[in-house]
Amino acid sequence: MNAQDLYHRVAFEPPSEQADGYGGIETGWDTGSAVQARAHFRYLRGGESVQAARLDGRQPVVATTWNNAAMRAVTAGWRMRDVNTGKVFNVRTDPVPTDDRRWLEVTVESGVAV
């Protein structure tokens, strides 16, 4: 993979909770502390569980980004937003380094409630 393959601009956003003023808690996403990155998307196509997810309208994707400290802070439970299209993905796994340790791979999934 080369830097030119990082076509998508994405933002990884952590969950946040705020008081709603009525004694409850409002949950959302902290866009102010989002981790901005460039990413390459690899859409998963094979395997029984992947095909079942696609039949349910979900699309698993492996997003590959540069390996850096900000990306290593991303965890499952965050969301990833494609800045170009506005499409939202749930982060399903913590970032995993590739064999050469230059890149991080994150499994995300679209088509599910965030």
pLDDT digits (tens, 9 = 90+) for 48-93: 565 555 556 678 899 999 999 999 999 999 999 999 999 999 999 9
Whether 95 shows a pLDDT value over 70: the answer reads yes
Query: What is the per-residue DSSP string for the chain?
Result: --GGG--EEEEEE-EEEEE-SSSSEEEEE-GGG-EEEEEEEEE---SHHHHHHHHTT-EEEEEEEE--HHHHT--BTBEEEETTT--EEEE-S--EE-TTSSEEEEEEEESS--
Supply the pLDDT for residue 59. 84
Whether 10 shows a pLDDT value over 60: the answer reads yes
Rounded to two decimals, the pTM is 0.82
Confidence of residue 35 (pLDDT cuts 50, 70, 90): very high
Confidence of residue 113 (pLDDT cuts 50, 70, 90): low
